[in-house]
Structure 1
Amino acid sequence: MEDIRERLISSAQDAGIALSGEQAEGFQQYMELLLNWNQKINLTAIQEPEEIAYKHFLDSILILKYREMPEGAKLIDVGTGAGFPGVPLKLMRPGLKLTLLDGLNKRLVFLKDLAEKLPFSAEFVHARAEEAGRQGTYRGKFDFATARAVAPLNLLCEYCLPFLKIGGVFIAMKGPEPGEEVCAAKNAVALLGCTLDAIEKFELPNGDSRSLILIRRTGPIPAAYPRHGAKIAKSPL
C-alpha cells in the first residue's frame, strides 16, 4: 500500500506543525486499517492514499494550528464516524483524554480495533448526541467538542455545545464559505450560553478550502437543551 508518511510530515511542516516519524507511522497504519475495514463497512468514500492523507488526516490536525490542546484536556468528537478529527488529534497529542461518540455501533467496533492496533486510549460512546448531552456523565464535562460534516451549524450547536465546560470550545469543521451557517446559528449560540470565538480559514495542499468555526461556552445552558433529535431537526434554534 502507498506510503503517505513523508507526504504527511512535509505538508504538516509547511503548515507549521511538527509531525514525528513515529506519528507518521501511526497515520500510515490508520490508513491501512481504514481501507481494509472499508471493504466490510462503509467508513469513507475517499480511498486514494494521497486524498486520505490530506482530506482526512491533515484536515484534522490543522485544528492545532489555530487552537492548541493542552496535556490532559478532555475532547469529545461528536458523530466521529471513522474517527475524524478525534483520532488524528489524539495521535498528535497523546495526552488528550478522548471520547469518541457515534450513533452507529459498527463504526465504534472499527475504532476499538484501531485503538488496539495503534495503540491509543479513548472512551467509546454508542449514543445519539442529544441523548448523551442530557446525561450527567457527559454534559458540561469537556474542554473541547469537535464535529465534522455532521449537520448544519445551527443544529450542531444544540447537539454539541451542552458537552462543554464553562470556557470550553466547540470546533465545527466546515467548507470554504461558512458565512450563511454562522448567521443562521447566531440565535442558537446565544441561547445556549456561548459566543463566537473565531472563524479560521485554510487551504489543503490539493487546493481544497476549509474553515473552522470556534464557539466558546461563556454561560449557563438551559436545562431544556438539547431537545429530542426530531425537534432539533424540525425547529432549529
Structure 2
Amino acid sequence: MSEPARDPIQPPPVAERVFGLRLPLAVRYARLLAEHGVVRGLIGPREVERIWDRHVLNSAVVSELLPEGWRVVDVGSGAGLPGIPLAIARPDLEVVLLEPMARRVAWLEDVAWELGLAMSIVRGRAEEGVVRERLAGSDAATARAVAPLARLAQWSLPLVRPGGRLLALKGASAAEELTRDAAAVSAAGGVRSEIVSCGGGVLDAPTTVVVIERGAGTSDRDGGRRRRKDR
C-alpha cells in the first residue's frame, strides 16, 4: 500500500526555529499562498511544492540583517515576499508593503487582515515622487525578484535614510551583478556593498542577499518624518 502524498503546506522542522510561537501564522500564510497564489498569478504551479524552502523560509531568514524596531519597506512586494514572512517572524519590525498592481494590493490586504498583521500596504512604485515623500527615511528596503541591481538601487535607496540599507535578495549571480552595476549603485548613493548569506544552519540553500548601505552624504527628503537613530 502506497504512502499518502505529503502535504506541501506541512512546515519542515526548521520552521519552528525561524518563527517560534508564530509558526501557526506562517502556516496559514503558506496555505493562502498555495490555495490562491497560482490562480492570482503570484507564484507558478510548480512553486506550491517549494513554498517553504523557496519562498517563506527563504524570505524570513533575512530578518538576521534587521535590528530591532526598524521600519522596512518591501519594494515590489507581489505575493508579500519577503515582507510578510519578515512581519510574521519579527513583530517588532514596522513593515510596509509597496506594490503597484491593484490586484496584488488587494491580495496583500486580504492576507494582512486574515493573519491579523499590523503592517501598512501602499499602492505605488518606489520611483514615484509621492511614494518617496511618504516612505523616505525608512531604515531598510527589501526587494526580491524585482529588477537588476542598478535599477533597484536607483529606485529603492531614496526611500532609505543615510546609514540605512537596501537588502536585495539575489541568486547565484549576485557577485557578477554587483560588479557589473557597481558604478550605478554608487551613483544612486550606495556605499559599502557586500554579499551576505542568511539562514546558514537552517536552510539547505541559504538566502543570498546583496546589502547596500546608503551614504551619509546623500540628500534626504524625509517628508517631515522623524529621523531615526541607528540601532
Alignment TM-score, normalising by the size of structure 1: 0.80
Residue 26 (structure 2) aligns with: 27
* Distance in 2, Cα, partners of 1:95 & 1:133: 27
Say whether residues 1:108 and 2:111 are aligned partners.
no
Alignment CA distance shift 1:133-1:61 (3 Å): farther
**Contact 1:56 1:84 (C-alpha < 8 Å) held by counterparts:** yes
Alignment CA distance shift 1:206-1:46 (3 Å): farther
Alignment CA distance shift 1:215-1:178 (3 Å): same
* Distance in 1, Cα, partners of 2:146 & 2:27: 25
Residue 189 (structure 1) aligns with: 185
Amino acid at match of 2:88: L
Residue 55 (structure 1) aligns with: 54
**Contact 2:162 2:218 (C-alpha < 8 Å) held by counterparts:** no
What RMSD in Å do the two structures reach over aligned CA positions? 2.6
Amino acid at match of 1:77: D
The percentage of counterpart residues that share the same residue type is 29
Aligned residue pairs, count: 214
Residue 159 (structure 2) aligns with: 163
Say whether residues 1:145 and 2:141 are aligned partners.
yes
* Distance in 1, Cα, partners of 2:47 & 2:181: 34
Residue 11 (structure 1) aligns with: 14
Say whether residues 1:70 and 2:72 are aligned partners.
no
* Distance in 2, Cα, partners of 1:193 & 1:48: 35
Alignment CA distance shift 1:185-1:39 (3 Å): closer
**Contact 1:176 1:209 (C-alpha < 8 Å) held by counterparts:** no
**Contact 2:98 2:122 (C-alpha < 8 Å) held by counterparts:** yes
Residue 42 (structure 2) aligns with: 43
* Distance in 1, Cα, partners of 2:188 & 2:199: 31
Q: Give the CA deviation at 1:134.
A: 6.1
Say whether residues 1:154 and 2:159 are aligned partners.
no
Residue 231 (structure 1) aligns with: none
Alignment CA distance shift 1:38-1:68 (3 Å): closer
Alignment CA distance shift 1:12-1:77 (3 Å): same
Report SS of the residue matched to 1:112. Answer: helix
1:102-141 alignment runs, 5 A limit: 102-132=99-129, 135-139=132-136, 141=137
**Contact 2:146 2:152 (C-alpha < 8 Å) held by counterparts:** yes
Alignment TM-score, normalising by the size of structure 2: 0.82
Alignment CA distance shift 1:202-1:93 (3 Å): closer
1:94 to 91, 95, 101: 91
* Distance in 1, Cα, partners of 2:190 & 2:58: 25
Amino acid at match of 1:159: W
Report SS of the residue matched to 2:52. Answer: helix
Q: Which runs of 5+ in 2 are unaligned?
A: 1-5, 221-231
Q: Give the CA deviation at 1:196.
A: 2.9
